[in-house]
Amino acid sequence: MKILDWYILKSFLTAFFFVVLIIVSIICIINLTEMNDKFIKHGLGAATIAKYYLYYTPYIANLVSPIMVFIATVFVTSKMASHTEIIAILSSGVSFRRMMVPYIIGASMLAVLTFLMVGWIIPNSNKFRINFELQYLKNPYTFEGRNVHFKVAPDTYIYIQDYYSGENKGYRFTIEKIENNKLKEKLKADYITWVPEKNKWRVSDYQIHKFLGMEEEIIKGKAFDTTLNLYPKDFESTYSLQESLTLNELSTYIAEQRERGKGNLEIYIIQRYTIFIYPVAIIILTLIGLIVSARKSRGGAGFQIALGFLIAFVYILFVVMSRSIALSGTTDFQIAMLVLLPNALFAAVGVILYHTVPR
């Protein structure tokens, strides 16, 4: 790398981290102002609140990073253009394509960092953040589902009419074993209760029906303890759960829920694809920001920065719309295409704009 490359790379990364720091600080101050009453209500000390914001900061920084990298690129490049530095660079024999190299290097470094952040670091920090918000900032959660069905094994199905999460107790419990589309065994119980010291379920007031050809055997009893592929956490709040799962945990969770026959997994599938698409967005938006602001404008750097904000707003709009539509997707491929759509469109826009820049 030459001196020019180091100059551009340093300016680009410095501007990015400075802008992120400013925006995150403003968001944290606004959030603290809004949540201060709840902090006081629960009697939280300064150390507890500081710990919350320590975990909240990476989440917000990652959330704004694609837009901030775009704004940083526009700011640095438009400043160079207004000082006629770009004209001098191109006049010295350096091609525009060669000038893009330090931007690509910087964007690639941020993309790798972003991938590690969204794939592992932030989900782990979100575990504390989300638990904190559920405990102090959100209304108490109560499971309100009725007539719940679970597939706990290839041939075993569970039904619970009502479940009370505060007591870890389910009423009108049924477990059925089906082989070759024939019901072989059915257990019915008035209720089941989680026994934490044994890590098992206690089945109370039960009947076991065994079907042996044309005969039926019925066994009745008061209670017994058993292990099931079912846990109290399956009835807990799923508030922002997808944000607290690492890439590996997301894949495992989706596979487990599909094994159980559970639907409505689109938000988790979207999150998994977002982990891969987010870093790509960093590179695409960096290159578009460079192309948009490379030409010296009569309106000055202010006009190009304003244009950058406008393009960033359009990008956010496309991302929100594509994710909303992706929630109604029926296959992984459809969801992936919809999540990828904003980046694909802006990549195409970047290719078109590239042919308009000065050489």
Angstrom distance (rounded) from CA 300 to CA 83: 10
Whether 143 shows a pLDDT value over 90: the answer reads: no
State yes or no: pLDDT of 298 exceeds 80.
Answer: no
Rounded (10°) angle between helices 122-132 and 46-82? 130
Tokens found for residue 154? 């290839």
Residue entry with tokens 């551009």 = 8
Specify the pLDDT at position 358. Answer: 62
- Residues whose CB is less than 8 angstroms from the CB of residue 198 and which lie 6 or more positions away in sequence, other chains included: 225
CB atoms near residue 83 (< 10 Å) = 12
The tens digit of pLDDT for each residue in 66-120 reads: 889 998 998 899 889 888 898 898 888 899 999 999 999 999 999 999 999 999 9
| Per-residue model confidence (pLDDT) at position 33 | 96
- Reply yes or no on whether the pLDDT at 330 is more than 80: no
Is 295 a residue whose pLDDT tops 80? Answer: no
Q: What is the mean pLDDT of residues 312-322?
A: 86
Residues 303-330: what's their mean pLDDT? 81
pLDDT range class, residue 311, cuts 50, 70, 90: confident
Structure confidence at residue 280 (pLDDT): 93
Give percent above pLDDT 90 in the chain: 64
What token pair was written down for 308? 């950058």
Provide CB contacts within 8 A for 113, sequence distance 6+.
none
Residue 300 — very low, low, confident or very high, per pLDDT cuts 50/70/90?
low
- The residue ranges of every structural domain in the chain are 3-138+265-354, 146-235
Q: Taking a C-beta distance cutoff of 8 angstroms, is the pair 173, 278 a contact?
A: no
pLDDT digits (tens, 9 = 90+) for 27-66: 999 999 999 999 999 999 999 999 999 999 999 999 999 8
- pLDDT score, position 117: 96
Of the listed ranges 23-32, 274-283, 308-317, the least confidently predicted one is 308-317
**Tens digits of per-residue pLDDT, 176-233?**
999 988 999 999 999 999 999 999 999 999 999 999 888 899 999 999 999 999 999 8
pLDDT greater than 80 at residue 255 = yes
pLDDT band per the 50, 70, 90 thresholds, residue 359 = low
Average pLDDT over residues 328-357: 86
Question: Is residue 334 scored above 80 in pLDDT?
Answer: yes
* Alpha carbon separation from 215 to 138, 178, 183, 185 (Å, rounded): 53, 16, 12, 12
Query: What spatial distance separates the first Cα and last Cα of the chain, rounded to whole Å?
Result: 21
Of the segments 175-179, 290-294, 326-330, which one has the largest average pLDDT value? 175-179
Q: CA-to-CA distance for 252 and 270, rounded, in angstroms?
A: 15
**Are 327 and 339 in contact, with CB atoms under 8 Å apart?**
no
State the Cα–Cα distance between residues 23 and 110, nearest whole angstrom: 17
| Contact (CB, 8 A) for 211 and 84 | no
Mean pLDDT value of segment 229-247: 93
